[in-house]
A and B are shown apart, each in its own frame.
Chain A
């Protein structure tokens, strides 16, 4: 980004911040703030100016207006002395934060193949799963959850209830393990009244605890068996051997179970017969694997477990995309399209010089540019390409 382009982007960002309605986080005066400016280091070197604090909303608003930062962050944590150096801040608690980003959701090769739009669709699906975990498993209220488009390739969830504020790093990691299905153990869900192995020896059917992952596992078991029953024998064998690491003999018995209507009827009611040990182990492996693939969420672990992390300020701009870090409501999330709804700049034509090939679909319109071209595009497209490092003014 040359200096002239930088100045242009800066003017645009200033315009935005002049009228923007920033979502001030709860207890903002106890938070640490950090910013990256559109200065002469930008964007080659991102210099984070952190350990800032603001006593009033006005002070913060003025700061944003004056500096029109490329990136703006606040701490998930609240501190006694937010502007002190790290060791002396006096940690008082932190919001529970989740970060879902394309890097963690699709593999590197997929990242290259997928278009930006496809990535955003993938991430959105993962976010829907996370919302389900938060509302149904963890019992958070919609009003306690702040859902935010990250301004780039993902979504954040902030939860700032008094309850979660005190959680330490290890406790947060347990929560991450929960949503990622890490360490999931089907045996732990066998409902036992008397002692955790006492009932293993009885004869009556087993039941899975019908909550949380127990529910997902039971559904996974039923789905898997149905799938197996409908498959060609050979394919079913292959599948079972692959996901359940089963021997031929045991895979065959499972197929038999899957095709047995009376057994399946029981299983659908949540009554699981006492299979032989090897069969049970194979089923456990297969179900756990398939359920994890389907239901587990791939959040960025360190973001959640780091209790001193900085997170993007909602309604600020993302300096690498020019899109807004947009707070969303769960009801409107389904209909949200970041490439439309997070666009903040206008439509007046701007002439740009393209420095490398690129394309983007913004506000329903696709723009494809080629290196060396000089083209006139709407302002929001121009700023987007400039922030991406695709074009200069």
Chain B
């Protein structure tokens, strides 16, 4: 195998690889240097932007690497970002950050692994490289470039978080202990492996004085985080910029699922259905709803679209109404109830009730 993957210009795109951390170690850059030396300001700023991009976009943009210095800075920005996110000590941010890193790497991997023609062997190489890195025994099917097979044990290690039924073992053609995956599916599993690795020891146990020394970066991030969380509801302002639907009036069960989706936490099917139906019922568009699911760990645009359209009644059926409080309770989706919950028996009524209440209060404030 060529040594291309050890090139810093390439390695810095996958900074969670063992070879990447080894390289950082061997570079001789000390923690002290990394957090304070002027030489590494670029790495620190990039480290910060890794996290703010995760907050704002749910992914991390991969730069075009044009020089060795830039590659080094990109590489070093990763350990610095880990220190930053550890100092902030916000569990949801940790998840979101890890997921964003994993998604960004996934995208890059997809791109690199789907190259054809003269780069075809490099594209197979990256698949081999990842399978080695994460201990997934994999081989290409004879005479095939697009399908690989893996033992079920390795498959299970990284797929129990993927909710879609096509990932269930029962739905994979399992023969003599192995199952086939399209290359893109394999890369999707690698994303899970990457996510696990990145999240594994986060937050790191960073000494207080180090956190203090880098507080000017963490403060900025906290600010972004705050802003994002306060921003018009859950990140689905309408195109006009106006917030027509008022998420502050959503019932707690719906808000809970939305915030989980936003943080990239996996949400069970029943809860997804409830939220989708609820949002459709109050008049959100399908596009807006699909946008909300974009953060979900197993997001698959086409499937999500299909499901949303189904619930919307586009497929010749009727539009579903959001489940009642009773049904929500039965499936364990009724959470964090408040005093309004006691007055209503349907999440939609909760919303109407609270909207009215809010309008009344605003009226009152105006007249006062």
Contact = CB atoms under 8 A, between A and B. Distances in A.
Interface of A: 136-140, 163-164, 166-168, 170-171, 174-175, 177-178, 181-185, 188-189, 193, 195-197, 209-215
A50 B160 CA distance: 32
A266 to B, nearest CB: 20
A210 B173 contact: yes
A136 B175 CA distance: 6
A175 B302 contact: no
Contact of A178 (B160, B165, B170, B180): B170
A30 to B, nearest CB: 21
A181 B169 CA distance: 10
Contacts of B177: 137-140
Interface in B157-212: 157, 160, 165-166, 168-180, 182
18 contacts: A137-B176, A139-B175, A139-B176, A164-B153, A175-B156, A177-B169, A178-B169, A183-B165, A184-B170, A188-B165, A189-B171, A193-B182, A195-B302, A209-B173, A210-B173, A212-B170, A212-B172, A213-B174
Question: Which 4 pairs, one residue from A and one from B, show the smallest C-beta to C-beta distance?
Answer: A139-B177, A211-B173, A209-B173, A188-B171
Given A136-B176, A178-B174, A188 B160 contact: no
Interface string B142-166: 0000100001110011001000011
Contacts of A167: 153, 156
B175 A137 contact: yes
A213 B176 contact: no
Contact of B173 (A171, A197, A214): A214
A216 to B, nearest CB: 10
A140 B289 CA distance: 45
B302 A197 contact: yes
Given A193-B146, A212-B172, A185 B157 contact: no
Contacts of A175: 156, 169
B266 to A, nearest CB: 12
Contacts of A174: 156, 160, 168-170
A221 to B, nearest CB: 15
A193 B160 CA distance: 24
Nearest to A210: B173
Nearest to B173: A211
B186 to A, nearest CB: 14
Most buried by A among B153, B160, B179: B153
A211 B157 contact: no
Interface in B82-140: none
Nearest to A211: B173
Contacts of B179: 211-212
Contacts of B157: 171
A136 B178 CA distance: 10
Contact of B170 (A177, A209, A211, A215): A177
Given A167-B153, A168-B160, A188-B172, 15 more contacts: A137-B175, A139-B176, A163-B153, A171-B153, A174-B168, A183-B168, A184-B171, A185-B165, A193-B182, A196-B302, A212-B170, A212-B172, A213-B170, A213-B171, A214-B173
A236 B176 CA distance: 37
A211 B175 contact: yes
A288 B151 CA distance: 25
B173 A189 contact: yes
A209 B185 CA distance: 16
Contacts of B171: 183-185, 188-189, 213
B313 to A, nearest CB: 15
Contacts of B146: 193
Interface string B224-268: 000000000000000000000000000000000000000000000
A209 B180 contact: yes
